């Protein structure tokens, strides 16, 4: 108990010096905290990239023929239909 009293006893230190010491400590603490408050500079890089935009194709497709298993002419008509459709759609994409 004596040790604590002797440690806490500020009899020889005047109150003005204690206030000065506390002020200096608080000032140093404020300076340290202020150093953390600045935000880092954000660096933004703008990169332009070409993007292909889909465009609606204005093609009128021919009517699709019906398939009959007994008639081979319908198979030929369906093959012709798909060939014509492919040509029209290739024109649309520029191929």
Query: What single string gives the DSSP state of each residue in 65-83?
Result: PPP-TT-HHHHHHHHHHHH
> Domain spans of the chain?
2-36
Q: Which residue in this structure is represented by tokens 């408050």?
A: 37
Using one digit for the tens of pLDDT, what is the confidence trace for 57-67? 888 888 999 98
Question: For residue 48, how many C-alpha atoms fall within 13 Å in the half-sphere facing its CB?
Answer: 1
Q: What is the pLDDT of residue 2?
A: 54
pTM of the prediction? 0.41
């Amino acid at each position: 108990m004596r040790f604590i009293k002797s440690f806490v006893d500020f009899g020889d230190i005047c109150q003005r010096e204690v206030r000065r010491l506390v002020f200096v400590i608080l000032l140093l603490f404020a300076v340290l905290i202020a150093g953390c408050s600045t935000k880092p500079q954000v660096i933004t890089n703008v990169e332009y990239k070409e993007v292909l935009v889909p465009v609606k194709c204005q093609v009128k497709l021919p009517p699709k023929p019906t398939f009959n298993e007994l008639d081979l002419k319908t198979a030929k008509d369906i093959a012709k239909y798909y060939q014509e459709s492919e040509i029209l759609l290739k024109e649309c994409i520029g191929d």
